[in-house]
Amino acid sequence: MNRQQLISEIHRKKSFLCIGLDTDLKKIPSHLLDQEDPVFEFNRQIVEATHDLCIAFKPNMAFYEINGSTGWMSLEKTLKIIPENIFKIADAKRGDIGNTSTMYAEAFFKTLNFDAITVAPYMGEDSVKPFLQFENKWVILLALTSNSGSKDFQMLMSDQEEYFFSHVLETASSWSDNQKMMFVVGATHPRMMERVRAIVPDHFFLVPGIGAQGGSLEEVCKYGLNRECGLIVNSSRDIIYAGNGKDFAEKARDKALAIQRQMSSLLEQNGF
């Protein structure tokens, strides 16, 4: 999916919601456990119940890898039933030396057919560039993450009196443009988001951290919206585990609908 198609979907659905498919066998409703593939069955019902309210789904790879090759099969089946017009993000935090990143890029963009993958920046340019060689595919680079550990290294100060994450933003944004790269910016640092916006005014951000992690959608919009929206805001646990009975998909839809309505209203307030 290219940038223009993504922006069109945001306008059409009045939503910039990404639903995180952090599907955990220990948390899904127990009546699904006697299905042949409970993880896929859970995902199938969530996708069917919510796909008109969100513009992206984001499977978190750890939740599939914990089930080994069986987990990868659940993921492969899930990807096949997500509609074409939805942006598919692999939350994988990959990144390695060039020849290995090339293999990861093929794994996620060709074998699995994701539109985007989250990538960790620590290993620098040749670890990220292989992901940028695919048409209409995206790198979503970690910049300022939503967790408490973000202060350990991302917020270290450089000898140029800049946060380390600012160097990542400045350097990485020179490797590509806003047609192929986005950044992860956590909702738990709304004021920092203002600094990030100043460095990369036109890029999209993938924003985790609203809901269970405590970030606020209003604050994210206040500091992160740009003239083409520029935000994909993720919610995982709050939506997919909204219910725990046979009606879990309906409950997930209710929760997603509440967030989509809030997004619609925030977009309107901001002149979209």
Alpha-carbon distance values, 90 to 21, 157, 161, 170 (Å): 10, 30, 34, 24
| Neighbouring-strand partners of residue 139 | 117, 181
36 binds a copy of itself (CB under 8 A): no
Give, as ranges, the residues between 210 and 269 that touch a copy of itself (CB under 8 A): 213
Residues comprising the chain, all counted: 272
Of 27, 77, 93, 110, which residue is the catalytic one? 93
From 7, 44, 52, 72, residue interacting with a copy of itself (rule: CB under 8 A): 72
Cα of first residue to Cα of last residue in the chain, in angstroms, is: 21
CA–CA separation, 165 vs 185, rounded Å?
10
- Evaluate whether 173 touches 203 at the Cβ level (below 8 Å): yes
Q: Please, what is the minimum distance in Å from the beta carbon of residue 5 to a copy of itself?
A: 26
- Show the tokens assigned to 97: 């030396």
Q: Please, what is the minimum distance in Å from the beta carbon of residue 149 to a copy of itself?
A: 2
Q: Please, what is the minimum distance in Å from the beta carbon of residue 116 to a copy of itself?
A: 16
**Span near a copy of itself by CB under 8 A; candidates 97-105, 193-201, 238-246, 247-255:** 97-105
145 binds a copy of itself (CB under 8 A): yes
CA–CA separation, 253 vs 24, rounded Å?
18
Active site residue 77: no
- Show the tokens assigned to 106: 């093929």
- Residue 127's φ and ψ, nearest 5 degrees, are -85, -15
Q: Which residues bind a copy of itself (CB under 8 A)?
A: 22, 24, 60, 62-63, 65-73, 75-76, 91, 93-98, 100-101, 103-104, 106-108, 111-112, 120-128, 142, 145-154, 156-159, 161, 164, 167-168, 171, 208, 213
- Report the catalytic residues: 93
